[in-house]
Amino acid sequence: MVDRQGTRQLTLAANQPAAATPGAGQKAPQRLRLATRESRLALWQANHVADQLRARYPACRVGLVGMTTRGDQIQDRPLSEVGGKGLFTKELELALLDGRAELAVHSLKDVPMELPDAFELTCVLARADPRDAFVSGRHAELAQMPAGSVVGTSSLRRAVQLREKFPALRIEPLRGNLDTRLAKLDAGQYDAIVLAAAGLKRLGLASRIRQVMSPELSLPAPGQGVLGIEIRRDQSEVRDALSFLEDPDTLLAVTAERAVSQALGGNCHTPLGAYARLAPNGELRLDALLADDAGNIRRASLQEAAPSTSQARLLGERVAAMLLR
């Protein structure tokens, strides 16, 4: 079904998890509509959030509002040349602004560091696998690929790390959603491709992964493996209704990671990686890298106590300063 604005109203699967009870004094929402891109992975992510909302608020009417973004439409040029990460969020934000949806579900690594004033990133869910994945039908791992083999990736961050560690390989641009990229690999356009492990696992495609790449081999992007929820800043009731989705440990990690990117002006033109995780002693460890135009990579690491988001943000800013020095 298509509404008057041309966005498709998508129904949810009937199977829902067992209901949970809202917190004391919390008002249950009557309706929650989730704006989402229409790729298979984006729909999985939106349904994952919607299932939790329906379990928490069984009387609430939950539905998806699917749409195609400019980032989905432009497939023949690198993202850094056509407007950056905002191309994946603008149409969803319009749906929030004109009242077609109450929240938007994003892969956090696709969310710009600075949102328009009318919106906020209200919560992040527990992180899935943050690592990159090597996918190939011909080779078991990157180190086994012969010189001249073609590896596809859409990410400048991945490309500079691959060129540094495997200079004999050819790194070529690769656009499209996850299924499109896999189809290009299977058609023989590439000898291998590098994708986010989380997306493959979410769609039941873990068997396609030949090598899960450690952060030492390929440092992830800020927010990789994390789902973020965006709402209108003036919708306090929606914010309250979504608060149960927040994962505190993930929030600390991505706050530090995104602080690095924000301090360095990170965008699709910036080969930048940042990955934070809690150490066994409870401190937050943050590793980051930044590459210059020549592909030279600078790295920095820091581990500090970070029991609050403000301290996690300071940790990210300190690591960014180390990279600049």
User: Edge to edge, what strands does the sheet with 209-213 contain?
Assistant: 170-173, 150-153, 192-196, 132-135, 209-213
Those residues whose C-beta lies under 8 Å from the C-beta of residue 80, and which sit 6 or more positions away, are 156, 267, 268, 269
Contact 155, 149 (CB under 8 A): no
How would you label 138-152 residue by residue, b for 16+ Cβ within 10 Å and e otherwise?
A: ebeebeebeeebbbb
Q: Exposure of 135 by Cβ count < 10 A (0-12 exposed, 13-18 middle, 19+ buried)?
A: buried
**What kind and span of H or E run contains 275?**
strand 272-278
Rounded Cα–Cα distance for residues 158 and 289 (Å): 11
Mode of pairing for the β-strands spanning 103-107 and 31-37:
parallel
Q: How far apart are the first and last CA of the chain?
A: 55
3-class secondary structure, 231: strand
Contact 228, 285 (CB under 8 A): no
Q: Is 110 a catalytic residue?
A: yes
For tokens 């929820």, the residue is: 229
Q: Which of 72, 110, 132, 191 is catalytic?
A: 110
User: Edge to edge, what strands does the sheet with 31-37 contain?
Assistant: 8-10, 61-67, 31-37, 103-107, 227-232, 119-124
Q: What are phi and psi of 310, to 5 degrees?
A: -65, -40
Would you name the residues annotated as active-site residues? Answer: 110
